[in-house]
Amino acid sequence: MDITQLYKYNGKAIVDFKWKKFGLMYHMIIWGFFIIFMLIFSIAMSSEEIYIFACILGFVHLFFELKQIIFYGKKHFFDIINYLDLAAYIFPVITSFYWITGITPPVVLISFSTLLVDLKLISLFAYALYIYLRPIDSYSLDNPPSNINIKDQNNPWNLVTKYYTILTDGSISATPTIIQQPDTNTNMFTNFFTSILAVYDFLTG
């Protein structure tokens, strides 16, 4: 059987199997390495030994990035987030080299490296929440759907305020009489870039 036909008819099952078998663990390992890398770089500012460890972890992440570049080729550079990933590893490694060699790095370099690491962390949270909270079905903010999928709780039309009519017998109508029209802020996790803004707003209060 042609492998393309196999993916055509069983693509979802294959993706689910790969994710549960090793994909989730792979991403959790990368997540764990990055959290350790971020904590070491952000907290330790005077220990040469710790910065050596930060360099090692930075090179580990750069190795993961190199694997993605080899696998995806030119397509890897079409996503702006990949540039953030590279910068979030390269600049902290350069800063760590300064400290290891006994040279105080420029304040601008320290600040920029810390900013990139924090932005990387925000993007990780944003991507996780984007996957979890994005709508399942397509929708339009201008035209309410004739039949809303109740199971799609992340659809903006399911998140807005609804007003129901109280019938003469005291019961409440099953269908809403008035539905507030959603806007782009109703569910900010409909795309990845607004998800970053939503996470930033959440963290900053």
Residue-wise DSSP of 60-112:
HHHHHHHHHHHHHGGGGGG-HHHHHHHHHHHHHHHHHHHHHTTPPPPHHHHHH
Are residues 145 and 118 part of one domain? no
Q: Is 14 helix (H, G, I), strand (E, B) or coil?
A: helix
Q: Residue 37 and residue 89: Cα distance in Å, rounded?
A: 9
Counted domains in the chain: 2
Containing domain of residue 176, as a range? 137-188
Are residues 148 and 76 part of one domain? no
Q: Residue 5 and residue 2: Cα distance in Å, rounded?
A: 5
* 162, β-bridge pairs: 179
Residues 6+ apart with CB under 8 A from 126: 192, 195, 196, 198, 199
Q: Is 121 helix (H, G, I), strand (E, B) or coil?
A: helix
Are residues 99 and 46 part of one domain? yes
Q: Residue 193 and residue 123: Cα distance in Å, rounded?
A: 9
Are residues 129 and 76 part of one domain? yes
Q: Is residue 194, in this structure, part of any structural domain at all?
A: no
Q: Which two tokens stand for residue 8?
A: 């055509």
Are residues 141 and 123 part of one domain? no
So what's the pLDDT on residue 1?
47
Q: Residue 36 and residue 89: Cα distance in Å, rounded?
A: 13
Are residues 37 and 88 part of one domain? yes
Q: What is the pLDDT along the chain (205 residues), one digit of tens a residue?
A: 445 554 444 555 665 666 666 666 777 777 777 888 888 887 766 565 677 888 888 888 888 888 888 888 878 778 777 888 888 888 888 888 888 888 888 888 888 888 888 888 888 888 878 888 888 777 778 877 766 656 678 888 888 888 888 888 878 887 777 888 888 888 888 888 888 888 888 877 6
